[in-house]
Amino acid sequence: MSGAVDPGYDPHAFEPFAVTVDLAVFTVRGGALHVLLIRRGQEPYAGSWALPGGFVLPRESAETAARRELAEETGLPEQVVAALHLEQLRTYSEPDRDPRMRVVSVAFTALVPDLPEPAAEGGGDAAQARWLPLGEVPDLAFDHAVILADARMRIRSKLEYTCLATAFCPPEFTLGELLAVYETVWDTVLDRPNFRRKVLTTPGFVEAVPGAARLTGGRGKPAALYRAGPATALHPPLLRPEGPTP
């Protein structure tokens, strides 16, 4: 616990820890799950791709730092960043994960709708930011490949028993778009009518927008629009077809 040992503990007595945050920010675009990556400008791993993130400042919590870094590196307005779904994933603390010094990193997962185009240059850190499909992600700096894999597993399983999928959608969406989120994240094909039945009979998952409908890219019958409902958990869950973690 915080201070079982503390004989007049001197903060500068030994090599200190640095604390950082790393962000695995996902979006669904064009039928593929994308993750936000930045290209590193400095050593170590200069030129490599990495997850966005940075140091936690002395008066910040890890979550505050995560939102600040995300705003800086994506150029999204603070207000948008303040509202989006951000969730702690886990903390990575292997002693040699950073070659320079002891760095403990708190990793977060964020889900955003497709809309925001990278707009990376706002940050100023000269690092370029891009959305990359998971299939095209190159080797990453530090242990970020592990973090990314953990984050992916986490969201795959969270879609099963939470209403998180709506975080990938714009404020108003069609059930076809929501279906596409599930199919993309799980990399499966779901039965459309069954999916519809499940979503609509789960209380609080989605709410119909009265009278609204949208033409789905020109083809087919217009779809009704829905908003995310107040529910956060799915009882019973919406299990994906195959095993727990294919």
Partner DNA sequence: CCTTTAATAGTCACTGTGACTATAAACAGG
Partner DNA sequence: CCTGTTTATAGTCACAGTGACTATTAAAGG
Binding site for a second copy (CB under 8 A): 1-7, 9, 11-12, 14-23, 38, 40, 42-45, 50-56, 58-63, 69, 73, 88, 90-91, 93-95, 97-98, 100-106, 125, 127, 141-142, 144, 161, 233, 235-237, 239, 243-245
Binding mask 124-163 for DNA (x = CB under 7 A): ----------------------------------------
Spell 200-226 as b/e; 16+ CB within 10 A means b: eebeebbeeeeeeeeeeeeeeeebebb
In 10 A of CB 155, how many CB atoms? Answer: 23
Token pair for residue 79? 């207000």
Q: Across the strands, what pairs with 206?
A: 228
- Closest CB to a second copy among residues 215, 239: 239
Position 100 contacts DNA (CB under 7 A): no
Binding segment (CB under 7 A) for DNA, from list 13-21, 42-50, 145-153, 212-220: 212-220
- Closest CB to a second copy among residues 92, 182: 92
Task: Give φ, ψ of 161 to 5 degrees.
Answer: -120, 15
Nearest C-alpha neighbor of 36 from the set 71, 64, 60, 10: 71
Binding segment (CB under 7 A) for DNA, from list 27-35, 49-57, 146-154, 174-182: 174-182
Q: To the nearest whole angstrom, how small is the minimum distance from the Cβ of residue 218 to a second copy? A: 40
- Contact partner at residue 42 from DNA, a second copy, none, CB < 5 to 8 Å by partner kind: a second copy
Spell 126-139 as b/e; 16+ CB within 10 A means b: ebbbebeebeeeee
Q: To the nearest whole angstrom, how small is the minimum distance from the Cβ of residue 109 to a second copy? A: 13
Radius of gyration, alpha carbons of the chain: 20
Position 241 contacts DNA (CB under 7 A): yes
- 205's CB contacts (< 8 A; 6+ apart) are 163, 166, 199, 228, 229, 231, 234
